[in-house]
Each structure stands twice: as structure tokens, then as C-alpha cells.
Amino acid sequence: MVYNILNYGAKGDGITDDASAIQKAIDECAKNGGGQVYLPSGKVYLSTSIELKTSVDFHIASGAVLKVLPEKEKLVQDFLTAYPHTETPLAFIWAFNQDHVTISGDGIIEGSGGAFIEDRREYLDGSRGQRPTLIVFENCHHCTCKDFTVKDSPFWTLHPIGCNDVYIRGIRILNSLRLANSDGIDLDHSKNVRISDCHIESADDCICFKNTDGSQHYGACENITVTNCTLISTSSAIKIGTGAHGDFRNITISHCAISASNRGISIQIRDSGNVENMIVTDCTVETRRFHADWWGQGEPIYITSVDRSKGKTSGAIRNLQIRNIICTAENSVFIYADKKEKIQDAILENITLNFKKMSKWPMNLYDLRPSCVYGYNKLYQTDKTPAIFVHGTENLKLKNFTINVDESVKEWFDVPVICYESIGLKIDGIEFK
């Protein structure tokens, strides 16, 4: 059955707060056993927070816009007043302890991100106050997000926490490339997740695997596939970490195209969680350096485990395979652990590295933030830049690398590999031009 929100009092005039009418339609749909809550085309539905429920397909028709009410204080107060019974983060659309929850349709969710900016710098916008995550599913089973477009999220865009069986297909996330923390998809302690055929543009990370500290009771982030996505990020296109208060297991990433990003594929372990059984294959990566306000220094592949702070040991990275990757970059493949047992049994094979100058930013810098290795928020500087920088690994294999160094960067790139404090490094077939 279809529940048209116009029949519940929604105006769709872009002025009226339609949240109560939308919620009435959702509540009746769920009460009657489920169906489709329908937002008709040709209208702009302004709203504060909306709670989705079991067996509801929240369908935004092509030509319809669901827009966050850009009055920050009202949105925050309405959410905290209506939903004090959960630990769900401040959110625009959210579901807690629900099953078979869906957001679908070819319409647009407009996040009104500009209304939440309080701090504008030359290369970064930010906020010191509360900003809502656009979509949060917590402890939900059988969640689906498909086909819709998100624009201008004020904070993280899509955040499944402790969910099982998550399907994300064909969505577009078009966020500001200046707004800090406007991540695309943040998987948090979630299992059995499939992400495919998405296009994501975001400041900070496009697709990020996290295990946040406050949700450890949900267990590992595991059994995840990401494929056929196009990604642009002012930080990492695909990242594991930095919040890693739990393990990451059984992850495959394939056939993605990454461009204009600070980092391409990033494993950034700073907390106790381990990464095990991960495969990355058949991707293209383009990275460039940028301003130090943003993490990343143009590393196309970034594999690190270092302690965030003294006395708190970061986790291990084991059984990692990265194959068939073509990179165009301004910086090295960077593999770094502060203890040898933290990166074990990794193989990088059939990698093409094309180095050339693409930005105005300084060379010879690496980024281990946040960590206590060189100072919590300091960059690490070297005299020269190898194609592959290795530190503190065990049984690392580098096989079939083709390295092309453009004239624009020849004064910096002088050797194929630099290795420190590692054991069992095996190199088979590096062509350095």
C-alpha cells in the first residue's frame, strides 16, 4: 500500500515544516504492516528529523526534494525532544532497532550544509557546534538505500551503526569538498554490507569503515564488498579507520575509479582494532597533495598502523592483498608500522605508479596524523621520495611494479624502494623508469 504524504497534511512548499505530516504517514504505514511512504514529485518538503520504521519503503520520487530545515537550533532541539530514548547520534533521517527499512527513489535529499558552517578558512569550512548526520540506521537488519541523490550534507551522510545486511546501490552523494567531516558512507560495526554503483564527492572520506568507541557492543565490521564506484575526496576515497575500536574482517574492494583525492586507498589504524582478510583489486587511483588542514599528502595507497597516543597500542593489519591498480600520484605508496608485528603477510602485485606534479603543494612530506610518532598533528619530512616507502613490516611482498617518473618530479623521486626496520621483504619485478 502507498501512503502519500500529501494526504497527511504535507505542503511541499519549501516553507512549511512538513515533519509531522511525514511522520504520521510513516507511523500509519508501519502500524498497518508496512508499505511505501511516497513523496510526490515537483515539490520541496522542508523537514526536521524523521524516524523510519520496520517494513517502510521511504520513496522520494524523481523531481521531489526533501530538505533539512536550515534552522540549526530548531532541528537540534526537535530531535532531542522527540527522541531522548535512544543513543542514536543527532540525525535527520534515522531508524533504531528496525527491520527491512528502505530509502528509495530518484529524488533528492538536500542537507542544507551551508547553514551549519561557523568557521570559514581559505581551504576548509567547519563548525564547532552540533551538526546532524543525514541518515543513521542503528541496530537495524535488512536495510536498503538505492537510487536517490544526496546534496550538501552538513556532517556524515550515511551512517549504519551495528547493522546487519545493508544494501547500498546507485546513490549519488554530492557534498561540499570544503566542509570538514562531510563523509559519504561510514560503516560502523556493521556486517554483511554491499555497496555498488555509487558516485560520491565529499570532503573527508567517501567510504569509510569505522568501529567507534561507543558502539563496541555491536562487534566487528565484517563481510563487506565495495564495487563499481566513482569517488572524489578531499581526504581518503576509501578508508579503514581512524576510529578502530574493534576488528575489520573479510573486505573486498574492486573496480572503483578514484580521482582528485588526497589519498586513494587508506588503512589508517590508530586504535586497538585489527584488519584481517582484505582484498583490493582492479582500481584506478589519482591523488594529489593539498593543504595541511586536510589529512593526506597524495599517497595513492596508504597502509599504516601507529599508536594514536602513548600507552595505547594500535592493531595489526594481516592478510592484505592489493592487485591490479593503476595510480597517478604526487607521492609514494606508503606502508608504515611503528612495530614489525603490526603489518604482516601483505602482498602488492601488478601495480602501475605514474608520478607527476599536479599541484602547487610541497613535496617530501608524509602524513601519519593522528599519532604520537612525530607529534600528534605534525607532518613527516624526508630529503627524497621513493616510489614505495616501507617501514616496520613483516613478510611484505612487492611483485610486478611498473614505475614511471615524469620530468616534473624527477628531482624528488630517485629510488624505487626505501625500507626501514622490516623483516622478510620480498621484491620480484620492479621496473623503474
Are 345 and 411 part of one and the same domain? yes
Are 123 and 270 part of one and the same domain? no
What does the DSSP assignment read for 47-79?
Answer: ES-EE--TTEEEEE-TT-EEEE-S-HHHHHHHH
Identify the bridge partners of residue 333 per DSSP, sorted by sequence position: 388
What is the chain's pLDDT, residue by residue, as a tens digit (433 residues)? 999 999 999 999 999 999 999 999 999 999 999 999 999 999 999 999 999 999 999 999 999 999 999 887 777 777 777 666 666 678 999 999 999 999 999 999 999 999 999 999 999 999 877 889 999 999 999 999 999 999 999 999 999 999 999 999 999 999 999 999 999 999 999 999 999 999 999 999 999 999 999 999 999 999 999 999 999 999 999 999 999 999 999 999 999 999 999 999 999 999 999 999 999 999 999 999 999 999 999 999 999 999 998 888 999 999 999 999 999 999 999 999 998 889 999 999 999 999 999 999 999 899 999 998 876 677 878 777 899 999 999 999 999 999 999 999 999 998 999 999 999 999 999 999 8
Tell me what pLDDT residue 50 has.
94
Q: What is the CATH number of the domain that holds 343?
A: 2.160.20
Are 146 and 227 part of one and the same domain? no
Are 308 and 277 part of one and the same domain? yes
What percent of the chain stands above pLDDT 90? Answer: 88
Name the domain count of the chain.
Answer: 2
pTM of the model: 0.97
Identify the bridge partners of residue 68 per DSSP, sorted by sequence position: 47
Host domain of residue 94: 1-204
Are 144 and 280 part of one and the same domain? no
Tell me the pLDDT tens digit for each residue of 231-284: 999 999 999 999 999 999 999 999 999 999 999 999 999 999 999 999 999 999
Are 235 and 377 part of one and the same domain? yes
Give the domain-ending residue among 160, 178, 204.
204
In a domain, 210, yes or no: no
Q: What is the CATH number of the domain that holds 81?
A: 2.160.20.10
Are 321 and 252 part of one and the same domain? yes
Are 103 and 126 part of one and the same domain? yes
Give the domain-ending residue among 162, 182, 204.
204
Are 154 and 6 part of one and the same domain? yes
Are 145 and 247 part of one and the same domain? no
Alpha-carbon separation of residue 282 from 196, 206, 227, 431 (angstroms): 14, 18, 10, 20
Tell me the pLDDT tens digit for each residue of 174-183: 999 999 999 9
Are 72 and 157 part of one and the same domain? yes
What does the DSSP assignment read for 292-329?
Answer: TTSS--SEEEEEEE--SSTT-----EEEEEEEEEEEEE
